[in-house]
Amino acid sequence: MSVLVLGHKNPDTDSIVSAISFAHVLNQRGIQATAVAQGTPAPETEFVLNKFNLKAPEVVTSVASKELYLVDYSDLAQAPADLKDAKILGIVDHHKLGDVTTDTPLECWIQPYGCSNTIIKMVADYYNVTIPADIAGAMLCAILSDTVLFKSPTCTEFDKKAAKELAKIANVSDLEALGMEMFKAKSNLNASPRDLIFRDFKDFDMGGKKIGIGQLELISLSMVTPELKESLKKELAAVKSEGRHSAVLVLTDIMKEGSELLLVSDEEDIIINALGTQKSDNIWMPGVMSRKKQVVPPLQGAFKA
């Protein structure tokens, strides 16, 4: 029976490509594995898969009685509801250690790198697994996406090294040009406000409170019209009302290297203070590019207090 390799809910490029690339590594190690996903590809991911002629993983909503490898997460809030009825064989992740637990020992690859695919490249090298050009190209794109063309504070020298080696395999000479193609696809706003919020959205348990944080990365925030912003705020309130203490949307301007904060919360002041900003109609956070490193940790600290 094939084991499943599964990324988080509302999958981004790293999540879907990690499933594909780690399934390849497992298969080359003699472990029959299949990449699956908890959702369909977002515009950026669709661009990447099309560019390198890869198929999107099958979407699964139930994993009961299945054997799994988790990639790009270890939080229960980002997993299928019946994860407790599955057997977790391993985890590959670059985020904080979440609340997933297991009954048996597991393979675990967790490093503080900018991208899960950087870790998968490391695992492939460890097992002397050759990465084909199509998967290498997609892995490169995942690194460029997660590190925002190496501009994110999460980016490490390991990410840059892996990207350079993957680019050589994929025969990609201009990483910046490829990155800009991706971000143009990512900046596609032809979707409903709800779909935009959930394009890259994660729920977190912070001090017993359910905090939902979405991030929308755009080449320029000038693309967000006043009308669209109002629609996003209205929809964010609806998202918050679905059992969340807070719903946050981080609108990131890739070129200006900063983010605007949209927020609906029972305790707005805690969030605003934790992020070191001030309440206003347009809350701008200069230099904030990473949800993982610059938004989630201070909020977790604030809600623990």
Confidence of residue 304 (pLDDT cuts 50, 70, 90): confident
Class at the top of the CATH hierarchy for domain 3-184: alpha beta
> In the 3-class helix/strand/coil scheme, how is the chain assigned residue by residue?
CCEEEECCCCCCHHHHHHHHHHHHHHHHCCCCEEEEECCCCCHHHHHHHHHCCCCCCEECCCCCCCEEEEECCCCHHHCCCCHHHCEEEEEEECCCCCCCCCCCCCEEEECCCCCHHHHHHHHHHHCCCCCCHHHHHHHHHHHHHHCCCCCCCCCCHHHHHHHHHHHHHHCCCCHHHHHHHHHHHHCCCCCCHHHHHHHHEEEEEECCEEEEEEEEEECCHHHCCHHHHHHHHHHHHHHHCCCCCEEEEEEEECCCCEEEEEEEECCHHHHHHHCCCCCCCCEEEECCCCHHHHHHHHHHHHHHC
State yes or no: pLDDT of 305 exceeds 70: no
pLDDT at residue 279, as a whole number: 85
Residues 274-288: what's their mean pLDDT? 91
State yes or no: pLDDT of 157 exceeds 70: yes
Domain boundaries of the chain, sorted by first residue? 3-184, 193-304
Of 295, 288, 291, nearest to 256 by C-alpha is 288
**CB 83 within 8 Å of CB 91:** no
The label of the residue with tokens 């899960």 reads 116
Length of the chain as a residue count? 305
* Candidate CATH numbers 3.30.413.10, 3.40.50.2000, 3.30.70.2740, 3.10.310.20; the one for domain 193-304: 3.10.310.20
Q: What is the pTM of this model?
A: 0.89
Work out the mean pLDDT of the chain and round it to a whole number.
Answer: 96
Q: Pairing mode, if any, of strands 209-218 and 201-206?
A: antiparallel
Confidence of residue 226 (pLDDT cuts 50, 70, 90): very high
